[in-house]
Amino acid sequence: MPRYALKVEYQGAPFAGWQRQKDQPSVQEAIETALARLEPREHRINAAGRTDAGVHALAQVAHCDLMRDWDPFRLMEALNHHLKPLPVAVLDCAPVADDWHARFSARERRYLFRVLPRRAPATFARGQVWQIGHALDIGAMREGARHLIGHHDFTTFRASICQAASPVKTLDEITITQVEGLSGAEIHFRLRARSFLHNQVRSIVGTLERVGAGAWEPDAVRRALIACERAACGPVAPPDGLYLAGVAYPDDPFA
Amino acid sequence: MPRYALKVEYQGAPFAGWQRQKDQPSVQEAIETALARLEPREHRINAAGRTDAGVHALAQVAHCDLMRDWDPFRLMEALNHHLKPLPVAVLDCAPVADDWHARFSARERRYLFRVLPRRAPATFARGQVWQIGHALDIGAMREGARHLIGHHDFTTFRASICQAASPVKTLDEITITQVEGLSGAEIHFRLRARSFLHNQVRSIVGTLERVGAGAWEPDAVRRALIACERAACGPVAPPDGLYLAGVAYPDDPFA
């Protein structure tokens, strides 16, 4: 059976997350249902990252096994046709080897977290940003974030329900920038690692927000990290601002 | 009665346009209804530009007359409270002179038109861009746009229902750039003039799109302009991509 990698964009709000669930809409189910319109049978697809309820993706990667040899462009068009009107779009399809796996072959995940600091309610980006009513000190947040880069025990920044075998991860990048958006200046957090713990990005962003607001000293991030206990974490940021922004593979199937 | 200028952001999709209408929702009515929650009576407000059905605003400007002296920040907060959950937000309020008029005092209007050229359906920007399935040649569109800059009879680019006294306008700027958005590269058209004719921006963008797609030569824009007849215009672009981006006054009330 030919295997295909799919690059997928979606809004998180209408879904209980990526993963198929009983009685709740999921992105996985939406795509599997579209696949069943092309090749009628039960489909099971795998994704690089199981995004939580409300979390968005700019470039989630999944793979599926099909019976027919599909032209990648026609496969993309057919899936998008059947996904309408859901806010899920297949951006690219590519044939991959039988042993290629969207999750296990991945070497790096990138996340984007958007914060809109303004009083007036978001109109265009509603549900697509974390809106806060105060300004954020980017310099202070960068100083706090510096402590998290590298190989650490991230127990503080891990959901209690996290199923990862170990809380030790290597965080390769946290970049914090101000970006001019349609609705004014946004703060963008970009995080990059081989893999992340459950709620790690939202826990880190929520903690750095406290630093940006002036409630925490930048050094408090270091102390929270070395405490290695969940209670030392700042408030967890809401899912609205979080996007799975990309997944890297040794051989990029979409290159 | 103290007069206030309001800077307003809104999504166009849920409304039949800015202007109050019988039996159809309008942005004007939404704001007048919110004002009536603050000072119960009938309110009538004026705006710098009467945006059409489906057209968005990043910074529409309107003015209202109130009985009480309102602190501008509290007025903004109160209006936003009563505007929820509509996708309309007051970004700023400022006291202005009794003879200041949002429409007649304005010296310049700026519009943004967003085009998303990609095959996969828009998810995050759905209804907020004009999505087209093919690439656009920016160089060719700039060459075509050059003919429209300056003082011209814009009859070709004017809706037949346009009520302006004269079709002669001065177009000060058309800037066409590629901008990286959340969903990939967008093409942004930015137009600036003292005032515009009805449907002028959408008529110009729709015509330039034909040039960008290779269906029209850039010089055909010049010939369309000098033809001075509506039939010479290209297809009118849909409202989804159009934003009233700003209004300039001799004395910026929000400065």
Domain boundaries, chain A: 3-98, 108-246
As a CATH number, domain A3-98 is 3.30.70.580
Rounded Cα distance, B199 and B178, in Å: 23
The rounded distance, in Å, linking the Cα atoms of B149 and B200 is 13
Residue A117 near residue A77, CB atoms below 8 Å: no
Question: In 3D, which of A254, A188, A238 has the Cα closest to residue A48?
Answer: A254
- So what CATH class is B108-246? alpha beta
Give pLDDT, residue A1. Answer: 86
Cα distance from N-terminal residue to C-terminal residue, chain A:
22
The answer regarding whether domain B3-105 maps to CATH 3.30.70.580 reads yes
C-alpha triplet A184, A128, B74: angle, nearest 5°: 50
CA dist B196 to A80, B7, B77, B148, B173, Å? 38, 20, 32, 13, 12
Size of chain B in residues: 255
What pLDDT score was predicted for residue A91? 98
Tell me whether residues B126 and A87 touch, CB distance under 8 A.
yes
Nearest CA in chain B to A13: B124
- Listed by number, the residues of chain A in 165-184 with a beta carbon closer than 8 Å to a beta carbon of chain B are 182-184
* Confidence at residue B15, expressed as pLDDT on a 0 to 100 scale: 97
pLDDT at A179: 96
Please report, as a single letter, which amino acid is at residue B164. A
A69 is catalytic: no
Mean pLDDT computed over A230-248: 97
Contact B144, B205 (CB under 8 A): no
Angle (CA) B85 B109 B177, round 5°? 90
Q: What is the pLDDT of residue B161?
A: 87
Residues A31, A43: Cα–Cα separation, whole Å: 9
Q: Among A118, A123, A243, whose Cβ lies nearest the Cβ of B88?
A: A123
Listed as ranges, residues in chain B with pLDDT below 50 are none
pLDDT of residue A159: 92
- B27-80: per-residue pLDDT in tens? 999 999 999 999 999 999 999 999 999 999 999 999 999 999 999 999 999 999
Contact B121 A77 (CB under 8 A): no
> Using 50, 70 and 90 to split pLDDT, how confident is the model at A109?
very high
User: Mean pLDDT of all residues in chain A?
Assistant: 97
For residue A163, name the pLDDT band (cuts at 50, 70, 90): confident
Task: Kindly list the residues from chain A whose CB atom is less than 8 angstroms away from the CB atom of residue B89.
Answer: 120-123
Same fold for the domain at B3-105 and the one at B108-246?
Answer: yes
Question: How much is the pLDDT for B220?
Answer: 98
Strands A3-10 and A56-65: antiparallel
Considering only the C-alpha atoms of chain A, give the largest distance between any 2 of them, rounded to a whole number of Å. 58
Amino acid identity of residue A13, one-letter, is A
Active-site option among A23, A52, A98, A153: A52
The interface predicted TM-score of the complex, written ipTM, equals: 0.93
Q: Which residues of A touch B77 (CB under 8 A)?
A: 119
Calculate ∠ Cα B120-B126-B127, nearest 5°: 130
Residue A184, pLDDT score: 94
| Of B233, B121, B241, B148, residue with least CA distance to B187 | B241
As a whole number of angstroms, the distance between CA B31 and CA A79 comes to 41
Our CA-based measurement puts residue A239 at a distance from the nearest CA of chain B, in whole angstroms, of 15
d(CA B118, CA B121): 8
Tell whether residue B10 is among the known ligand binding residues: no
| CB environment B21-38: b (16+ within 10 A), e (fewer) | eeeeebbbbbbbebbeeb
**Whether A200 contacts A187, CB under 8 Å:** no
